[in-house]
Chains A and B, each alone.
Chain A
Amino acid sequence: MDLVKTIKEHFSERLEPSTFHSRFFWRTAESLARSPLNRPQWKADRVSLSYFLAITRDAYLGRGPVVWCNLFVPSELVLGLGCIPFYPEMATAVVAAAGMGPRFIDRAAEAGFSPDACSFHRCAIGLALEGFMPEPSALLAVNYPCDSAPLSFAFCGELYGRPQVTVDIPLPGRPGGQALLAQQLEETAGLLAECSGFGGAEVEKGLAKALERSNQALRYLREVEEMRKRDDCTLYGVDAMGGISVLFASMGSQAGADFYRLLAKELRTRGCAGGDSIRLMWMHIKPWFAQGIFSTLAKGGARLVCEEYTHATWEAMDPHDPYNSLAAKLGNHFLVGPVERRATHLASLAEEYRVDGAIHYNHWGCRQSCGGAALVKQALQEKGVPTLILDGDCVDEREYQEGQISTRLEAFLESLR
C-alpha cells in the first residue's frame, strides 16, 4: 500500500472528484506504480497492481459500462459480459489504507447513516455522496456474505438513478437451488449485455473465455495453497490478505491467472522463513489502516500462515455451461447459509495449515461474521485450536484501540508458547 501513500502525497493538494477523472492522474499513478522505487514484495503483486489500476482508470474515465459489485459477485460474469467490475468494498479498503476513511464515514453520517452499520459501506456511501466514485451503469449485489451490500447498493442505485439488482442465493442443500440461482445469473447477464451492447454470440464467447481464465487461475491457486502449507513459506498472511481482491475481483481476467502463476513460481523458488514460529490463522478481514497489530505478531514470533478469504472455495467450471458453473461456485461458498458451514471450513483450514492458534477480527457492524464468531471459536477450540476474538474496525481508525489490541495479542501469543 506504499503506492497509495505516494499517490496521496502527490495529489493531496488537489484531491477532488475531478482528480480521478483526469488522464493525467492515472498516467502519474501508473508511472509511480511502475517506478523502481515502488517495489512490491512479490512479482505477482505487480500484475495485480497494474490490473486494478487499469480497470479503476477505465471505470473513472468511462471507457466502458461500470458495474458496481459486492464481494460475492463473480467477476467472471461481469468481465465476460464486457463490463468493468468495480468493487466499492475494495475501494474503501484503499481509502482506509490512505488514512481517509473517517472523512467519508462522517459524510455518510451527515446524510443520516448510523455509526452502527458496517464502515466499509458507510465509507462507500460517503465517497458516492462526495462524487468520488465512478458512476455505475448498474449495481449488482448478492445476498451474501452480508445484508449491508444489497442495502447500501440500493441507496446508491437511487443516488445515481441506475438499476440495482440483488441476486438471491438459495440456502444450501435445497433441491433445485442451483438451477434457480443459475436462472438469476442468466437474467443478470441479460442486463449486463444491455449495458455493454453484447449480442448472443459475444455473450457466449465472452463468458467461455472468462471461465477458462478463471479455471487457469484456480489451477495455480491450488499450487499456491499447497506451497503455503510448508513450514518455510515466506508469504505472510498480512501480505496475502491483499489477495482477497485478486481472488474476488480478477477471476476471469488474464491478470488473475498470471498473478497466481507468478506467485506459485516465486514461492517455489523462495523459501526459508524458518519453521519455528507460531503459526496463526486470521479470520475475517484486517484493519487496512494499521500495521501495529502485525508488528506485535512479528515481535511475538508469530506468522499468519492462512487467512479466511484467500482460498479457493470452488471447483473448475465448464466454460460451455457458464450459469450453472457460476451458480455452483457462488452457492457452495462456506459463508452461504448457517454458520456451521463456515466453522467446518475454518476448522479444516486450521488443520491443513497446522495452525497453533487463530484470531477472529470482529469488524464493528459486520453481523454475519461477528454474529458467528463465538460458534466459530467453539468449533476451533474443539479441534484444539486456541482462538482469540478481537473487536475493532477495518476502515474507521477511530474505532480501533491499538494499545488494548496489542496487550490482548501479546497475552494470547504468550499462552501459545
Chain B
Amino acid sequence: MIAALDSESAVAWFCTYTPLEILDAAGLVPVRRYGDAGSLESADTLLHTAICPYVRACLAEGIQGEGPHQAVFVNSCDGMRRLYDAWRDRFPDDLVYLVDLPRNTGDGAERLLAEEFRHLARALGEMTGHEVTAVDLREAALAREERRLSYLRACEGLCGEKRLRLAMAFHSRLYTDMPPCGEPAGTAGGVPVLLSGNLLNPAGLVASLDRAGARVVWIDLCNGDRSFATPTLPRGESLDELLGSLARAYLDRHPCARMADAERRYRTLEETVAAVGAKGVVYASLKFCDAYLYDFPRVQERLERAGIPVLRLESDYADGHVGQMLTRVEAFLEMLE
C-alpha cells in the first residue's frame, strides 16, 4: 500500500544511493527533492557559499517549505553530510537520518553497507512503528524493479531535457502518478552525445544543450539515467539475507565519481558511449563538488585516449549563465559532425 504523497509518510531523499526499498518497506513514501535553485541565498546562514549548490538549494527549499521535514540523507560527500547537519539543526523534531556509504566495493564494503542497511531498517521500524519484514522488503523491491523497467521503456526515444525530466519524475512522484511522456524529442536530428556528471538542472544547462543541437541520448547523472541502469533486486529468504544482497546491488550500480573504483566507472562510461552511439561526451557538473572536480582530469585523459571527444561545462544549478556556453557547445557539436 502506498500512502499519499503529501501525507505524513512522505520522506525526502537526495542521493541515488538511498536504499529506497527499505524506506518503502517501512511504510514511508520516499520523494526525491531537487531543491530551489533560485533561492540559494536563503541557505547562507547555515551553509557556506562554496558548498555544492544542489545541497544549498535543497536546504533553501526545506527552509521555505511547509513541514513535515522527514528526510533520509546519505553520507555520500562532505556537502551532503553538512546538509544532514543543517537539516537536523533546523528540524529537530522530524525523522532525519543519515545512511552511511563506503567508498570501496568488495567484501569488506559489502559487509559495512549491509550492517548499515540493517541499522537503518531497525531504526526506521522504531521511528515509524512499522517493523521492516522480509515480506515487505521483497514486495517493495519488486515494485521498485517494476518502476525501473517502466522508466527504461518510457524513456526510449526521449532525449535531453525531456528525458531528464522523466527520470526526475520517476524519482519524485508516485509511480501511479507519472506524467505523460510527450513526443520523443530530437530523435530526427541533432548530434548524439552522452551527458556525464553529478546532477543538473533540466531547465538550465541541459535545455541549452538541446537548443544548441545536441541529442543527449544517455544521461549519466545522479538525477538522470544512472540509477535506472542496473537492478537492485535483492535475493534471499530472511531479512538479513535480503539486506545483504541489497547492499551488494547498491555497490554494483553504475558508479558515481565519489566511489573508489574509478576504473570501473571509466569502463562503464566508455561502454555506454559505444552502446548508445554517442559521438562525444559532455562532462558537466555542479560547482564545488569535489568528487567531480577531481574526476574530470582523469576522465578527460581516459576518454581522449579512447578517441572519444569531451567537452567540460560547469553549472551553478540556477544556470543563469548558460547563454554564454552556447558557442562552446555549438563548436563542439560541429567538431563531432
Contact = CB atoms under 8 A, between A and B. Distances in A.
Interface of A: 111-114, 116-118, 143, 146-148, 150-152, 154-155, 158, 166, 168, 170-171, 174-177, 180, 183-184, 187, 337-340, 362, 364-365, 367-368, 370-375, 378
Given A155-B297, A338-B98, 20 more contacts: A114-B293, A116-B287, A117-B290, A146-B78, A146-B290, A158-B262, A158-B298, A166-B104, A168-B102, A175-B115, A176-B115, A177-B115, A184-B108, A338-B81, A367-B79, A371-B47, A371-B78, A371-B85, A373-B48, A375-B89
B280 to A, nearest CB: 17
B291 A147 contact: yes
Interface in B99-114: 100, 102-104, 108-109, 111-112
B309 to A, nearest CB: 15
Given A116-B287, A152-B294, A166 B51 contact: no
Contact of B48 (A155, A339, A371): A371
Contact of A150 (B51, B85, B100, B260): B260
A180 B115 contact: yes
16 contacts: A146-B290, A147-B258, A148-B294, A170-B112, A170-B115, A170-B116, A174-B115, A180-B111, A180-B115, A184-B108, A339-B85, A367-B51, A367-B79, A368-B81, A371-B47, A375-B86
A136 B52 CA distance: 32
Contacts of A155: 294, 297-298
Interface residues of B, number: 46
Nearest to A177: B115
Contact of B78 (A111, A147, A154, A362): A147
B85 A180 contact: no
B88 interface: yes
B51 A113 contact: no
A187 B108 contact: yes
A32 B107 CA distance: 50
A401 to B, nearest CB: 15
A171 B98 contact: yes
Interface string B67-102: 000000001011101101110110000000010101
B119 interface: yes
Q: Which of A111, A338, A373 has the most chain B CB atoms inside 10 A of its CB?
A: A338
A151 B292 CA distance: 9
A180 B108 contact: yes
Contacts of B77: 147, 367
Contact of A168 (B98, B103, B288, B312): B103
A354 to B, nearest CB: 26
Contacts of B88: 338, 340
A16 to B, nearest CB: 24
A374 B260 contact: no
Given A147-B78, A183-B108, A338-B84, A365 B260 contact: no
A174 B108 CA distance: 15
Contacts of A112: 296-297, 300, 312
Interface string B208-244: 0000000000000000000000000000000000000
Nearest to A115: B293
B108 A151 contact: no
B94 to A, nearest CB: 15
Nearest to A378: B89
B67 to A, nearest CB: 20
Interface in B265-320: 287-288, 290-291, 293-298, 300, 312, 314
Contacts of A368: 78, 81-82
A242 B24 CA distance: 51
Contact of B293 (A116, A184, A339): A116
B45 interface: yes
B82 A174 contact: no
B49 to A, nearest CB: 9
Nearest to A376: B85
